[in-house]
Structure 1
């Protein structure tokens, strides 16, 4: 296609189509252990991107100051590319109210379906049949030109993502049986994830480890038990490679329950150690 915006005849009306020209289709990859973003600029409209954050699922996003043009109902089709018109077209889905401010955002399974259609050489196209309330349709299409190599590099990035992101480990609470301070296997697994993240994010400068108890027993005994729990967590973190200088260990006994100690379920939630990560700045 010679121009980035084309007027195509659709029945009695015209569809305004935004798509990158075949000879200027670019795929751009932003890669790190924390996120992978594969994007294609769409001239005169915005950017289409596949975004995969560590610990989360794939999202497909169209960012544009004109995103509202896709309207309240958006038809998504996998169309045959211009250079292979016989490949066939199929419907991916119909989406309602997916536009949020200046973006159009889709999660699995539709995001994966769009990615698959590009891998198969088709052209995913998002169409709204009412351009500014008229009978003219608007279409935003993603070119599959040059996609194979870009996809290979993107998959390599996804394979290197951390299993969690900062929001998922910034605040963790591990629980303990009554009158116990030793770490369970599930607690060690959670602390392993916290430590893995910290080792890969140099912006994390401090780890606060706070021990707590329920209100059963004597107050001084509960304070000592909360100390043992906090120190057990700190010992494990240092054992698996976290610099002890990063860790501030505190213990509070029964002073700060997260819920009232009115029943066994609530007391179980209060027998905890919290681990909080703090970034610089």
Structure 2
């Protein structure tokens, strides 16, 4: 029977190429509010809205009675193994391993975004890791169009978010599938200026002056996938109400199969995700191509 000899898990440094690729390709990793998870589950308090009174002189204050509850983050493991012949590693170990790690990072980023934002299925912990934003949002949060993406449609999607109780300019973000880019480039505002400005030299792209993060995971699918083929989504909302639980990773380890002279690279990230307030978002869904 083959015997595995493995080293400990090695976490990626914050500025590593793997983490950089994850953040470049995942809107959720780049934008969501992060919570460190010290166990497999974490309950995050969620406070309801409160009103404020105007109190005449000498009159008692009244107690606020918000509806408080919790949202539970549950760790899901995203991973893969790669079997590498020892002969293929001669003098190139770092390059080969790094190549696999970087390709994993891109696929992980897309699958995480699809699971967290665009998956239409009911959470089961495996093929549907989380209850996605798309699944959690009510019909009033979604604008569905089969036509071209226009200024009016984009403005209406922004209006769904801006008309709600949780809009906040400082925390407003846009997430969109890259298929929207070609439509954005052809739209100008009433002042004749483009509404979309592509990012340069590390600065984010903007739509209506709001930072926009593109992700190939933002197409609908029944189960989580790194290559979704459903309807393209644009999401505008308050990033504070997307919560990403970080249990560990991205991290990797290398094991050795003594009988076959092969090395096994294992790469993983353990994450939880929850939408704290689905009503803090507006979704534009394009059913016939952007």
Common topology (TM > 0.5): no
Please state which band the TM-score falls in when normalised by the shorter chain: under 0.3
Larger-Rg structure = 1
TM-score by length of 1: 0.23
Higher relative contact order (CA 8 A, sep 6+): 2
TM-score by length of 2: 0.22
